Amino acid sequence: MNAPPDTAASPPDYRVQSRAVAERFRKLKERPVVLDVERLSRSFESEGGPVTALSDISFQVHRREFICVIGPSGCGKSTLIRIIAGLDHPSTGRMLLDGREISGPSADRGMVFQGYTLFPWLTVKRNVMFGLEMRGMDKVQAEREALQWIDLVGLSRFCDAYPIQLSGGMKQRTAIARALANHPRILLMDEPFGALDAQTRAHMQAHLMEIWRNVDITVLFITHDLDEAVLLADRIVVLKAHPGEVQEIIEVPVARPRTPAQLMTPEFLATKARLEELIHPRVETPVTPAEPLPIIRLTQVGDEVE
Amino acid sequence: MPRHLWFTVLRPLSSRRRALLGVGSFLIPLAVWCAVSYLPFLWKPLVRVAEPGDVSWFRAGMLVDRHEFAKEAKRVAAEGGVRPEGTRANPIYLPAPHEVARALYTAFTTRPVLRGDAWLHESLWLSIKTIFLGFMFSSAVGVPLGILCGAYAAAARLTEPVVDFIRYMPAPAFGALMVAVFGIHLEPKIAIIVIGTFFQQVLVVSNTVRRVDPCLLEAAQTLGARRRHLLLRVIVPNSLPELYNDQRILLGWAWTYLIVAEVVGVSSGITFFINQQAKYRNFDNVYAAIIIIGIIGLTTDQVLGFFGQRIFGWRSLKPSRFRTLMTRLFADRYTVLFPDEPEEAKA
């Protein structure tokens, strides 16, 4: 293999994996399949006839895999996760969880929403206890378990606070604890950090990695942030819009454990470049050079800003 | 500190200004009333006769139209008689504030005109009882039904069209019917209040419940909540604060139905008092009774509002002082009951 002389100018192929990474993927694929999405389609009725939001989506998620779904806006990634959660239904196709066909929402598929969706009338502790109580667990035991999960997300000091008193990051940590407390087979996350500021978002990503490493949980994570996808995922399912189809499933060649320091490594950049190419393809027809806007100058001479 | 303008769009008032304006909203109508009553040149279409003079049909204390009085005075003067004297006065239906203020006290202390009639406090108590019972009966069915309608489209479709239809029928129209069904005492009055409140209540409650954030329901479903739990553990607690406020507003409406309800069958309660005092032309007592209704209504609402804010403390960012006080009280009791170990060791 003849390596290009300047790696910065042309990064390595995103499909090239180091031995450790390749080994990890080999092992990962030996694990049992938790979620199997088979030829899933979803179309909506609209005034202008049926609109296909998702078309023929198939992929598998292995146990304790971290999989990201990414795509341009309108590609139906939210519809996809809602169907998997059972909050929407597919037009055709089916989903298997541990080999059994699923339909309708259930506690075995926990979900974290972008809008937090904490119950505002319950304290952090009672929020986390909610799912446990739904299962019929008695209060004392539910409380004990809830406190462990709250501890895990680092909110012990706030277990008696109400959601309105929490910051966005704290709310989302509570939501994660609430979903995890149910021991779901798969954790569905619908752009969970989309509403957070950049710094909190970075913290939450690190935090989520830490949780994922230590808890037996499989994660399906939806995002539109390329960096976030590459940083978190084992594999990235790239969707394309109109209709939403799987364009490519990328195995992320970045070694684990991941840190933000890897954002500049060649593998990272190569993967990101590939995502960029898939999601924002270069338009064939050259864009006509933008005509200058018909604005007359309304400032004084000598007051130019550039 | 910069001085803020009094009128700035969407800027909340300082607590000082809030209090000031709140008092002002009562003082302004009171000031108008005082001006009309006490300033001799304002309005005063009548003359209270002090000395009848030579006008044969004038009596001392009589209220005569101002122009009539002037005409008679002129006529008598022309005939060489003694001119009548009098002071300008307002009609009898507008007593001065101090008279009403006095009546607020004397209405309670005055013995009823006829034996067997109720004292004012008895009338008031009967009215409060009527309202309370009517509102309770209405709420006992209306709130659960409204919640069901808000939660389930089928229940709403089965209920709301007919409720909407009946809602437009004025409650007093059922008066004669209710007397035929329930007799002439308290029952038909309660029934009128129920009719006046219930149908509005179902619609108001169902609309409030319908505003539940669907995302919360979805979240609950992914946490394993099923039909019954979705209703009882998500929809109901989520709507409670709004329902509480709805109930406050509906209670106000129930008061407005009270007066028409109380003339159904045997007139009773505060309405009986008002009508009877009006018959004797004791308008100061009439005003006093109306003001008392207002005071009771406003006080109830404010008290309910006060407790509402504290019961639903999770809606406000600020930790409630009431809640903190409660926790502290109970925490203290806890330490009294179970003193710390070192103290025990000392003992």
B205 C-beta neighbours (distance < 10 Å), count = 26
User: Please, what sign has the CA dihedral across residues A105, A218, A224, A243?
Assistant: negative
Residues in chain A within 8 Å Cβ distance of B313: 162
Residues in chain A within 8 Å Cβ distance of B316: 164
Same domain, B209 and B117: yes
Q: How far is A167 from chain B (nearest CA, A)?
A: 11
Same domain, B331 and B307: no
Domain boundary among the residues B89, B123, B142 is at: B89
> What CA–CA distance (Å, rounded) separates A13 from B118?
97
In this prediction, residue B333 carries a pLDDT of 44
Residue B302 maps to a domain: yes
pLDDT digits (tens, 9 = 90+) for B138-165: 999 999 999 999 999 999 999 999 999 9
Q: How far is B308 from chain A (nearest CA, A)?
A: 14
Residue B22 maps to a domain: no
Q: Assign B92 to helix, strand or coil.
A: coil
> What CATH number did the domain enclosing B124 receive?
1.10.3720.10
Same domain, B306 and B334: no
Domain boundary among the residues B29, B56, B89 is at: B89
In this prediction, residue A305 carries a pLDDT of 86
Laid out side by side, the sheet with B85-89 consists of B63-65, B46-51, B85-89
Whether residue B315 and residue A113 make contact (CB cut-off 8 A), yes or no, is no
Same domain, B209 and B308: yes
Is the per-residue pLDDT at A160 higher than 70?
yes
Whether residue B223 and residue A165 make contact (CB cut-off 8 A), yes or no, is no
Whether residue A105 and residue B219 make contact (CB cut-off 8 A), yes or no, is no
**What ipTM describes this predicted complex?**
0.87
> What CA–CA distance (Å, rounded) separates A39 from A175?
31
All residue ranges of chain B with pLDDT < 70 are: 1-2, 318-347
Same domain, B55 and B195: no
> What CA–CA distance (Å, rounded) separates B284 from B33?
13
Whether residue B218 and residue A120 make contact (CB cut-off 8 A), yes or no, is no
Residue of A nearest to B220 (CA): A131
How does residue A299 score in pLDDT terms, banded at 50, 70 and 90?
Answer: confident
In this prediction, residue A138 carries a pLDDT of 92
In this prediction, residue B342 carries a pLDDT of 38
Domains and CATH numbers, chain A: 29-108+185-192+217-280 (3.40.50.300), 110-183 (no CATH)
Convert B60-88 to b/e letters by CB count within 10 Å (16 or more is b).
eebebeeeebeebbeebeeeeeeebebee
Residue of B nearest to A186 (CA): B222
Same domain, B301 and B326: no
Residue B2 maps to a domain: no
Q: How far is B208 from chain A (nearest CA, A)?
A: 16
Same domain, B188 and B255: yes
Same domain, B118 and B85: no
Whether residue B223 and residue A87 make contact (CB cut-off 8 A), yes or no, is no
* Model confidence, pTM: 0.83
Whether residue B224 and residue A182 make contact (CB cut-off 8 A), yes or no, is yes
Same domain, B52 and B162: no
Same domain, B267 and B136: yes
Residue B101 maps to a domain: no
Of B224, B240, B319, the CB nearest to A134: B224
A:B CB pairs within 8 Å = 76
CA atoms lying within 13 Å on the CB side of residue A108: 12
Report the number of distinct structural domains present in chain B. Answer: 3
Cβ(B299)–Cβ(B248) below 8 Å = no
Q: In B, what residues contact A, Cβ < 8 A?
A: 213, 215-216, 218-226, 229, 233-234, 237-238, 240, 312-317, 319
> What CA–CA distance (Å, rounded) separates B88 from B238?
61
Of A107, A120, A121, the CB nearest to B223: A107
In this prediction, residue A303 carries a pLDDT of 87
Q: Assign A286 to helix, strand or coil.
A: coil
Same domain, B146 and B83: no
pLDDT digits (tens, 9 = 90+) for A242-262: 888 999 999 999 998 898 889
Whether residue B223 and residue A131 make contact (CB cut-off 8 A), yes or no, is yes
pLDDT digits (tens, 9 = 90+) for A174-232: 999 999 999 999 999 999 999 899 999 999 999 999 999 999 999 999 999 999 999 99
In this prediction, residue A5 carries a pLDDT of 47
Residue B112 maps to a domain: yes
In this prediction, residue B8 carries a pLDDT of 84
Which of these, A213, A15, A107, A292, lies nearest to B229 by C-alpha position?
A: A107
Residue B345 maps to a domain: yes
**Maximum CA extent, chain A:** 77
Q: How far is B123 from chain A (nearest CA, A)?
A: 42
> What CA–CA distance (Å, rounded) separates A145 from A142?
5
Of A115, A178, A188, the CB nearest to B223: A178
Q: Assign B86 to helix, strand or coil.
A: strand
Residue B291 maps to a domain: yes
Q: In A, what residues contact B, Cβ < 8 A?
A: 85-87, 105-107, 109-111, 113, 115, 117, 119-122, 130-131, 134-135, 162-165, 175, 178-179, 182, 188
Residue B27 maps to a domain: no
Tokens, residue B332: 């203290």
State the residue range of the domain holding B59: 46-89
Same domain, B336 and B195: no
Whether residue A117 and residue B234 make contact (CB cut-off 8 A), yes or no, is no
